[in-house]
Chain A
């Protein structure tokens, strides 16, 4: 393994990001190469310097935050408000998507010359409309799944 290749991996090595095989190869090289060991020592020294360069936030920050939070925004909220917050977008999607799908099916019905928008047999008789209908139904199924997860998540939180 060349020094260039090892040095490309030294940052990942010292951070513990390398897989076992790569780590073994780097360690074998380090055992025999003073230059790469010096490079690694510099990286570690840098990490110690950077991690040690910390500041302590003053207590006044807490006061500023709590002042900024303000009493108006801390009014307790009822569980149903959270539920509505969570489910608002999902409800909108559940109403809009089937409506869009129905409109699309009507157009497809006109195109396939069937009399009813939900004449699925006619719809699936043609490859193009069959693909479109399948995608549309998958989309609605996906939204329904998402909606049920939102409901479950919301109920778990309130």
Chain B
């Protein structure tokens, strides 16, 4: 496949247009999938970025999520919008990224202790972006819910679907998460 292929067939990305694109991509048309990627890449990267707390890592997560989505397209039933389904995959990929990051961190700390370096001396800097850094101080589940909430395009039911948790639980995560975030932002002088 050539990189950067342009889309030769005019397409729309409204609800019906998107359904047709998904059907074409499922049938093996990579150009249709490319349009879906172009349409949703910003939102997907923003969800991933808020969960993992790093813009570069978010792009890796988004890349993995889109590739996984392409391979799993046949499982997409159309019971939700493609975007909601895609966010669910992104959340899972971001959680996997965080797990492997925690494992790497644990290995690094163990190695640093063996070499008698003070713990944290060579640890990568915390995010230079203050709002992202605030989010990273919240529990992962709250962060996931807030990442979807701040897209400002999803209903509570859609957030719950993408987060893989019941609506009532996600509502509680959002409520607690936003209050914790408010307190942290106040402490750091961001409000």
A residues near B132, Cβ cutoff 8 Å: 53
Number of cross-chain contacts by CB at 8 Å: 126
- Cβ-defined contact, A53 with B129, below 8 A: yes
Given A74-B1, A74-B30, A75-B28, decide whether A42 and B186 contact each other with a Cβ distance below 8 A: yes
Residues in B neighbouring A62, C-beta threshold 8 A:
4, 34, 37-38, 41
Interface with A: B9-17, B92-100, B111-119, B177-185, which one?
Answer: B177-185
Instruction: Give chain B residues whose Cβ lies under 8 Å from the Cβ of A59.
Output: 4
Chain B residue with minimal CB distance to A50? B150
* A contact patch SS: helix
> Judging by beta carbons under 8 Å apart, are A66 and B42 in contact?
no
Number of B interface residues, CB 8 Å?
A: 50
Q: Is the CB of B30 within 8 A of A55?
A: no
User: Which of A11-19, A28-36, A111-119, A133-141 forms contacts with chain B?
Assistant: A11-19
**What residues of A have a CB within 8 angstroms of the CB of B52 in the complex?**
none
Q: Which chain A positions have C-beta within 8 A of B71?
A: 73
Complex Cα distance, B66 from A64, in Å, reads 10
Per the bound structure, the CA–CA distance linking A69 and B1 in Å amounts to: 9
**Residue pair A43, B49 in contact (C-beta under 8 Å):** no
Answer yes or no: B63 CB below 8 A from chain A CBs: yes
Partner of B42, one of A46, A57, A63: A57
The 8 A CB mask of B4-32 against A (1 = contact, 0 = none) is 11000000000000000000000111100
Cβ-defined contact, B59 with A58, below 8 A: yes
Shortest C-beta distance, A18 to chain B (Å), equals 10
Q: Are A85 and B74 in contact (CB under 8 A)?
A: yes
Taking the nearest CB of chain B, how far is it from the CB of A150, in angstroms? 11
In the complex, the answer to whether A67 meets B179 with C-beta atoms within 8 Å is no
Interface residues on A, range: 35 or more
A-side residues, CB < 8 A to B, are 7-8, 10-12, 15, 17, 42-43, 45-47, 49-51, 53-59, 61-71, 73-77, 82, 85-86, 153, 157
Interface residues of B (CB under 8 A from A): 1, 3-5, 27-30, 33-34, 37-38, 41-42, 44-46, 49, 55, 58-59, 62-63, 66-67, 70-71, 74, 77, 129, 131-132, 135, 146, 149-150, 152, 156, 171, 174-176, 178-179, 181-182, 185-186, 190-191
